[in-house]
């Protein structure tokens, strides 16, 4: 894609507020734009990043046998009354609830447990119909008292929520533990190293749940964890203290700020009981369904990625989620150089390389600054000095190399697939 055609371009903005790094870079770079506090438009660059995150999540969840669907966002009060959550003061703080002009009461989705259990009630009769694992990517609304930290804590955001229903606690935990492993793999592929952390279930469950936490000083959560990796608890539930030895005799426990990028909840039979959704077992008896839910917020993940992968010039996207693989810059106004660069751009596209081509009539300095800000993994420069070769540089390294076109294609392939 030609940068001259992209909507919008990056902007020079001096932020007044003490904004988070992810908000600064994502807004300056034209990845997202604020509609109101806590509400963001994903601009074309940000949209692509989120789509790539979603596709990784989708691939890995499909491998577990989960199936994608799409549930409504506007919910009737009646279904939320079945579990009593409609009237829970903690829920009412964050759930948008309202009456329409016909006095019918609705809530906006902040999660979908009740809706999924209601759906299961229509289709699950016997043990043969279980397990069911379904997920969707959809909008969530949470009236956060303090919407801040850029896209990390928003009032409207995208969430992948997966729900699983099982015949027994054992079956539920088997799948729950599988998803726990799959989540670690998902985040690894996305470019985030996560610490699996024990936590409370908030308005979802009284059981111990697990959060997927990324170390970052901009995080709002805190954990007590063993850096050797066999223990981590959210400080909200931690009974051990910083400095103590870990149970397995590893180094002293540390306390750190973290960003929560995912969480999983072994909900048990509460929803089945409350909503009166049962299945018939082999012996003909009516039994409760074991239920669990699993969340990942792709927009929050994008914010977390920027918090973790950046320098003082801009973003450094992991190649798996970068909006483009190569950023081609022509830094000359000589017609012959521009013509050669145009050719290379055409040939890169024809070779299937995801390339952003900065074809604007602006200074070399501005183009280099934009490349650093946008954070595309591979920068390609063509100038009067490069001739028919292309200067290749990785966003996270200083070293430059001059490559022939064929070498470049080979190199990009290695870097992207490797």
Q: Based on CB atoms, which residue is closest to a second copy, 13 or 208? A: 13
Q: Based on CB atoms, which residue is closest to a second copy, 258 or 353? A: 353
In whole angstroms, give the CA distance from residue 158 to residue 42: 10
> Measured from the CB of residue 341, what is the shortest distance to a second copy in angstroms?
20
Q: Based on CB atoms, which residue is closest to a second copy, 171 or 407? A: 171
Q: Region of 223 please: left (phi>0), alpha (psi -120 to 50) or beta.
A: beta
Contact by Cβ (8 Å): 360, 416: no
| Residue 7 makes contact with a second copy by CB under 8 A | yes
Tell me how far CA of residue 395 lies from CA of 54, 162, 220, 322, 326, in angstroms. Answer: 24, 35, 29, 11, 10
In whole angstroms, give the CA distance from residue 311 to residue 322: 16
Window contacting a second copy (CB under 8 A); options: 98-106, 198-206, 235-243, 363-371: 98-106
Q: Does the N-terminal peptide bond of residue 131 adopt cis geometry, omega within 30 degrees of 0?
A: yes
Considering only residues 104 to 133 of the shown chain, the ones binding a second copy according to CB under 8 A are: 106, 108, 115, 118-119, 122-123, 129, 132
Q: Which of 21, 23, 50, 316 binds a second copy (CB under 8 A)?
A: 50
Window contacting a second copy (CB under 8 A); options: 38-46, 243-251, 259-267, 341-349: 38-46
Q: Which of 26, 42, 328, 376 binds a second copy (CB under 8 A)?
A: 42
> Measured from the CB of residue 260, what is the shortest distance to a second copy in angstroms?
22
In whole angstroms, give the CA distance from residue 42 to residue 18: 22
CA neighbours closer than 13 Å in the CB half-sphere of residue 169: 4
Q: Which of 54, 64, 96, 389 binds a second copy (CB under 8 A)?
A: 96
> Measured from the CB of residue 406, what is the shortest distance to a second copy in angstroms?
29
> Measured from the CB of residue 143, what is the shortest distance to a second copy in angstroms?
6
Looking at 71-204, which runs of residues are DSSP E strands?
74-76, 97-99, 105-108, 132-141, 156-166, 195-201
> Measured from the CB of residue 385, what is the shortest distance to a second copy in angstroms?
29
> Measured from the CB of residue 402, what is the shortest distance to a second copy in angstroms?
33
| Residue 99 makes contact with a second copy by CB under 8 A | yes
**Between 298-308 and 44-63, two packed helices, what is the crossing angle to 10 degrees?**
110
- Cβ neighbours for 263, distance < 8 A, ≥ 6 positions apart: 199, 209, 210, 211, 212, 294, 295
Considering only residues 298 to 337 of the shown chain, the ones binding a second copy according to CB under 8 A are: none
> Measured from the CB of residue 193, what is the shortest distance to a second copy in angstroms?
28
| Residue 139 makes contact with a second copy by CB under 8 A | yes
Our CA dihedral for 84, 89, 91, 92, rounded to 10 degrees, sits at 110
Beta-bridge partners for 166: 290
> Measured from the CB of residue 360, what is the shortest distance to a second copy in angstroms?
10
Q: Which of 333, 318, 327, 325 is nearest to 363 (CA)?
A: 333
The 152-191 site mask, x for binding a second copy (CB under 8 A), equals ---xx-x---------------------------------
Q: Based on CB atoms, which residue is closest to a second copy, 154 or 305? A: 154
Considering only residues 62 to 91 of the shown chain, the ones binding a second copy according to CB under 8 A are: 65, 67-76, 79
Q: Which of 111, 104, 98, 117 is nearest to 142 (CA)?
A: 111
| Residue 44 makes contact with a second copy by CB under 8 A | yes
> Measured from the CB of residue 275, what is the shortest distance to a second copy in angstroms?
14
Six-digit token string for 328: 């081609």
In whole angstroms, give the CA distance from residue 157 to residue 15: 23
Contacting positions for a second copy (CB under 8 A): 5-9, 11, 33, 35-36, 39-44, 46-47, 50, 65, 67-76, 79, 92-93, 96, 98-102, 106, 108, 115, 118-119, 122-123, 129, 132, 134, 139, 141, 143, 155-156, 158
């Amino acid at each position: 894609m030609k940068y001259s055609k992209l909507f919008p371009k990056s902007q020079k903005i001096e932020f007044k507020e003490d904004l988070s790094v992810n908000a600064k870079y994502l807004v300056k770079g034209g990845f997202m734009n604020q509609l109101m506090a806590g509400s963001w438009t994903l601009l074309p660059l940000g949209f692509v990043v989120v789509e790539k995150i979603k596709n990784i999540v989708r691939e890995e969840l499909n491998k577990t046998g989960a199936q994608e669907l799409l549930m409504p966002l506007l919910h009737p009060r009646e279904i939320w009354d079945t579990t009593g959550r409609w009237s829970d003061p903690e829920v009412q703080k964050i759930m948008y609830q309202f009456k329409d002009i016909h006095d019918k009461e609705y809530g906006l989705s902040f999660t979908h447990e009740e809706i999924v259990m209601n759906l299961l009630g229509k289709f699950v009769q016997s043990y043969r119909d279980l397990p069911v694992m379904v997920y969707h990517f959809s909008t969530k609304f949470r009236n956060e008292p303090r919407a801040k930290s850029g896209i990390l804590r928003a009032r409207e955001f995208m969430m992948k929520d997966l729900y699983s229903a099982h015949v027994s606690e054992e079956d539920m935990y088997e799948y729950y533990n599988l998803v726990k492993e799959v989540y670690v793999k998902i985040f690894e592929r996305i470019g985030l190293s996560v610490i699996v952390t024990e936590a409370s279930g908030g308005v979802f469950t009284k059981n111990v749940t697990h959060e997927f936490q990324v170390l970052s000083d901009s995080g709002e959560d805190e954990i007590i964890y063993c850096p050797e990796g066999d223990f981590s608890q959210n400080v909200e539930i931690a009974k051990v203290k910083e400095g103590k030895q870990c149970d397995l005799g590893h180094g002293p426990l540390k306390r750190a700020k973290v960003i929560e990028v995912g969480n999983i909840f072994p909900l048990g039979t509460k929803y089945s009981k409350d909503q009166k959704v049962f299945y018939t077992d082999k012996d003909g008896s009516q039994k409760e369904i074991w239920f669990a839910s699993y969340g990942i917020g792709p927009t929050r993940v994008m914010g977390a990625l920027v918090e973790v992968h950046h320098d003082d010039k801009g973003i450094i996207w992991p190649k798996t989620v970068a909006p483009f693989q190569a950023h081609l810059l022509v830094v000359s106004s000589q017609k012959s150089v521009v013509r050669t660069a145009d050719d290379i751009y055409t040939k890169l596209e024809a070779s299937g390389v995801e390339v952003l081509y900065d074809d604007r009539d602006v200074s070399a300095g501005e183009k280099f600054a934009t490349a650093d800000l946008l954070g595309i993994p591979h920068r390609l420069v063509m100038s009067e000095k490069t001739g028919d070769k292309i200067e290749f540089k990785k966003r996270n390294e200083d070293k430059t190399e001059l490559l022939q076109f064929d070498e470049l294609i080979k190199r990009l392939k290695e870097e992207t697939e490797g």
